[in-house]
A and B are shown apart, each in its own frame.
Chain A
Amino acid sequence: MNIFRIFIFSLLLSGVAITAYALNRSEVEKNLICYACPGEALNIDRCSGGNQMRAEIDRRLALGEDKQTILNFFVQQFGEDILTVPPQRGFNLVAYAAPFVALLIGLVIAGMLIWKWGAAGRSGTGAGEHDAESEALYRKIEDQVEDELKKLEDD
């Protein structure tokens, strides 16, 4: 409880200054692909085609345009495949949702398995941890027998 109080106290003590970010070119660049080098993000690319795009971004930033307006301009010019982040609509939503759906399914299956194994453990019907040892011992004996048989054959 004391920890909780300290946490709340710290929150109250803290100021209200929220980290503010001035929009710079690289934040816009990250979201665009160089039109001259398909597949390569503009922030990585250094070709002359990319330089034209960078100059355009600089010009628009100087005009005070926000990130989305600048991105919209490039989408108008080159289409949606100029973006590194697919717009969140239509089929593209699958890209955003699939990892989390997969995670959810995985967590549910894992939860069910653990529940099942837990139930088996409580009722004492599951395999014990001695199984690995006994099986390994069995294999060791099997190997010894195989080795001895081979020696006999060789003789």
Chain B
Amino acid sequence: MVTFGNLSQSAAFITGLSAMFLLLTGLMRNDLRFIEAGRRALAGLAVFATMAAFALSWLFMTDNFQVEYVASYSDRALPLFYKATSFWAGQKGSLLFWAWVLSLYIALVTWNTRKETTRKNTPYIYLILAGIVSFFFLLLITVSSPFELLQFMPKDGKGLNPMLQNPGMIFHPPTLFLGYIGFTIPFAYALAALISGRLDPDWLKKTRRWNILSWIFLTIGIILGGQWAYVELGWGGFWAWDPVENASFIPWLISTAFIHTSIIQERRNIMKVWNMSLIVLTFLACIFGTYLVRSGILQSVHDFGATGLGGYFLVFMIVAALGSFLLIAESYSELKTNHSLESLLSRESTFLFNNVILLAIAFSTLFGTMFPLISEMVTGKKLTVGEPFFNMVNTPLFLLLLAITGLCPLISWRKASINNLKHNFLLPFGLALIGGAVLFTFGIRELYPLLAFTLSLFVSATILLEFIGGARARKKLTGEGLLLAFPKVIWKMRRRYGGYIVHFGIVLMVVGITGSTTFKLEKEVTLQRGQSMTIGDYTLQYNDFKSFQDRNRTVYAATLGVTKNGKPAGDITTERRYYINAKQPTTEVSLRISPKEDLYLTMPMIGKNNEITIKAAVNPLLVWGWVGGVFMVLGGIMAIIPAGSRRQTA
């Protein structure tokens, strides 16, 4: 199977090269037969890539520890479920996973465009995709093969990092990868448009679903990562502004900006240079994330250390950036249109400001992430910047973004009059102001939380008014009842309302993040059996302690009786686990979730006489952050559901 895997990888690489050769020949000779052959070769590459992926999965399932990668990330005691997911637990496997998914995406593109090979830009799309996927397979067969063999056959593997033995880790990396990889497709379309001179919004329309789908995957990946950190790492938070977390957030921000301004280009055929630049930046940011994880230049809980791949990715990024921006510069005169707006106050202008803020957040995140390197270069000292720094710098920018998220729907496309604005603005602004005053009255006096909640109310009110306005308009038009018109108008205009649902998801996320970070209660207490501690409305009494063997781990579990406001609220068990082959024990988080707050418990230490150290936290409103994430994903899905086929008219 090892030979099969190696051969499959090599075959995929050779097929990629062949596709490039065929496509180039076809383009130079202007011969469609070669282009068609190149397209088929590119589609065929997916078969070899799938074979390589199958081979690696098989090696994990059959415990073939002579394969260095399998021995490093699996062991005999590992549950089958996690054996399958160990595929992407390390650097080499995740690289193969990347190349494999990219090959599948490319196969989909070649299928979707099978009748479009005569178009000027299609061969260039194939050529760019072939170049990118070949680069990944080149790395796999030359520098980073997951099929490398050890000189001996170990009795057992080293096992999977216990922290990765969590359901969140099954989906977090692949969804993140699906997002990163997905942006390759719009990037290829954009570059092909530049090379072929087909600069109309066609490439945007064709890649709209790819963009949003990749954005959805990236969103899911980031949220699942946060959820995993929250339930697995045991420090009570969900986002630590770690360099690799930031590396996933930067493309998310840029792609969000791109999704907004691509709407303007679709509607008005303006901002062509801007959109081209944004999709190039999104792709580069995705590769930058990969570079960061594999280069070892910054320390992160996620990185693979210095893998020897950093240089390759750096060169790839430089070539991609130079090539793309040179192409944009070359086509500048064709891309440049005489932009016009009928009014300074229009949805287009608010979109532009929203882009500026999103990019400013992306820049500040990138700058903070790279600051240790920058400071080392300038001052010789490698300073690290962490969570408090990012919160300090980014919070005002986020609040600004939230404000503009509320303002956007109030301002019409093309032209908004002051009277129109006043009419739309007054009610949500008034509601938000009253809400803010009430919050102030109830003791929320810190500026940022007060602003965050008030702006959340403002944005929610504008979204609600949008929904009501749409339903009313439909009612007027069709005579349907409001209850029927409401879902119908949402479904009919799902792209628009999907966007608003995403915005509402962001509002909920802001509520969750603000509540849980600002009003968080934390306490760490050592308890003897029978003793109790109090945190917020909760009293926790240490009642029981036991240890037992569970599959590949020894578990030490403490049970605490919970009372809330003096009333019994059941038991809660928190664990400390010692995995076979793991150097350090892990703490298993115990959670009690309610709409108002989470009770969060971990057990960082166990004493000789079974006295336990309990780290307890009460995280207010956090659950709404996760609910918000679900809304964001659902809104995104809604926005890409294709419109039903229209009845043909004679």
Which residues of A pack against B, CB within 8 Å? 3-4, 6-7, 10-11, 13-15, 17-19, 24-26, 30-31, 33, 38-41, 43-44, 46-47, 79-81, 83-86, 90-92, 94-96, 98-100, 102-103, 106-107, 109-110, 113-118, 120-122, 124-129, 131-132, 135-136, 138-139, 143, 146-147, 149-150, 153
Contacts and interface: CB of A to CB of B under 8 A. Distances in A.
Interface in B202-247: 202, 233-237, 240, 243
A80 B340 contact: no
B467 to A, nearest CB: 23
Interface in B345-404: 349, 352-353, 355-357, 359-361, 363-364, 367-368, 371-372, 374-375, 378-379, 381-389, 392-394, 397
Nearest to B379: A91
Given A92-B375, A127-B270, A150-B32, A102 B587 contact: no
A7 B434 CA distance: 6
A114 B271 CA distance: 12
B433 interface: yes
What secondary structure prevails in chain A residues at the interface with B?
Answer: helix
Given A11-B441, A99-B397, A127-B338, 19 more contacts: A10-B441, A14-B441, A19-B443, A38-B299, A41-B386, A44-B301, A46-B235, A80-B381, A83-B384, A95-B367, A106-B360, A110-B356, A117-B270, A126-B341, A127-B269, A132-B200, A132-B201, A139-B200, A143-B116
B604 interface: yes
A131 B268 CA distance: 7
B423 interface: no
B70 to A, nearest CB: 28
B299 A39 contact: yes
A31 B233 CA distance: 19
Contacts, number: 220
A144 B352 CA distance: 35
B384 A96 contact: no
A153 B35 CA distance: 15
A106 B357 CA distance: 8
B71 to A, nearest CB: 25
A102 B360 contact: yes
A135 B269 contact: yes
B341 A91 contact: no
A81 B384 contact: yes
B522 A99 contact: no
A129 B267 contact: yes
A102 B198 CA distance: 33
Interface in B30-55: 32
Nearest to A138: B200
Given A120-B338, A136-B201, A114 B349 contact: yes
A10 B240 contact: no
A142 to B, nearest CB: 8
Contact of A121 (B342, B360, B441): B342
A95 B385 contact: yes
A121 B243 CA distance: 44
Given A30-B386, A46-B234, A114-B352, A99 B363 contact: yes
Contact of A85 (B342, B385, B445, B604): B385
Contacts of A94: 374
A103 B433 contact: no
B202 A136 contact: yes
Interface string B420-432: 0000000001100
14 contacts: A25-B524, A26-B236, A44-B235, A44-B237, A83-B384, A85-B388, A91-B379, A98-B363, A110-B349, A113-B352, A118-B341, A124-B340, A127-B337, A136-B201
A150 B394 CA distance: 55
A17 B522 CA distance: 21
A26 B119 contact: no
Contact of A125 (B32, B338, B368): B338
A84 B356 contact: no
Contacts of A83: 383-384
B383 A80 contact: yes
A138 B269 CA distance: 14
Interface string B519-542: 000111000000000000000000
A26 B524 CA distance: 10
Contacts of A4: 433
A19 B240 contact: no
B367 A10 contact: no
Interface residues of B, number: 86
5 shortest A-B CB distances, which residue pairs? Answer: A126-B340, A84-B386, A39-B299, A99-B364, A10-B437
Contacts of A24: 522-523
A57 to B, nearest CB: 11
B620 to A, nearest CB: 12
Contacts of A13: 441
A143 B119 contact: yes
B549 interface: no
Interface in B589-639: 604
A131 B337 contact: yes
Contact of B300 (A7, A39, A86, A98): A39
A41 B342 CA distance: 51
A143 to B, nearest CB: 6
B398 to A, nearest CB: 12
A10 B389 CA distance: 34
Contacts of A153: 32
Interface string B94-133: 0000000000000000000000101110000000000000
Contacts of B438: 10
Nearest to B415: A121
Contacts of B340: 117-118, 120-121, 124-128
Contacts of A125: 338, 340
B397 A44 contact: no
B338 A95 contact: no
A76 B118 CA distance: 70
Contact of A84 (B379, B381, B385, B430): B385
Contacts of B445: 18-19
Contacts of A132: 200-201, 265-269
A112 to B, nearest CB: 11
Contacts of A109: 356
Contacts of A127: 268-270, 337-340
B118 A146 contact: yes
Contacts of A102: 359-360, 363-364
A44 B595 CA distance: 26
Given A125-B340, A146-B119, A30 B360 contact: no
Contacts of B429: 3
B332 interface: no
A139 B198 contact: yes
Contacts of A46: 234-235, 584, 587, 604
A149 B304 CA distance: 53
B102 to A, nearest CB: 27
A92 B383 contact: yes
